[in-house]
Amino acid sequence: MKAVAAKPAGKRRWRRLFIAGVALGAYPAFVLTATYAHFFSVELPGGRNGPADAYRHSLASAIVAYTLSPRCVDWVTTVMERGGEGSPARAMDAHNNRLGARIGATADSWDAMQQAVLAAVKNGAVDARSPDQITWRAPSAWQERLY
């Protein structure tokens, strides 16, 4: 029987780190791809601070809650949006993330989740305060570009 030469420990460690990195990067890529595929098809106005922005945030949060957990949305909202503190735009995004997470967590199917998010955005309003209504800023604050 031939003895198989052991791989150096350093190479194994880097290989494992690489595989872990690919796996960790695949999920965010899936969420972004799914979100933007639908985002570009609905053609809502207000890419920043408007209905399109609200749709993007609520849909991404719904996808994460549907496929993982609403707790993941809470964590991302705390990190990325500072929990809604600091600016009206961050508060809007945090509000819509929470609503999207609720939609995703209670959806019966992938299609139902997507339809519920779009319906919520269509029933949204400027400066909505209800936790059950999507919100966005006044049209004067909208920016059509995403960057």
Residues with Cβ within 8 Å of residue 53, at least 6 apart in sequence = 46, 47, 92, 93, 136
The count of structural domains within the chain is: 1
Per residue in 30-52, pLDDT tens?
A: 999 999 999 999 989 999 999 99
- The answer to whether the CB of 28 falls within 8 A of the CB of 21 is no
- The answer to whether the CB of 67 falls within 8 A of the CB of 35 is no
Q: Is residue 146 part of a domain?
A: no
Please report how many Cα atoms fall inside a 13 Å half-sphere around the Cα of residue 120, on the Cβ side. Answer: 31
Q: Is residue 130 part of a domain?
A: yes
| The pLDDT value given to residue 6 | 55
Tokens of 73: 């949305």
Q: Is residue 126 part of a domain?
A: yes
pTM of the model: 0.83
Strand partners, 143: 48
Per residue in 56-95, pLDDT tens?
A: 999 999 999 999 999 999 998 988 887 778 899 999 999 9
Residue-number span of the structural domain to which 67 is assigned? 9-141
In whole angstroms, what is the distance from residue 55 CA to residue 100 CA?
A: 9
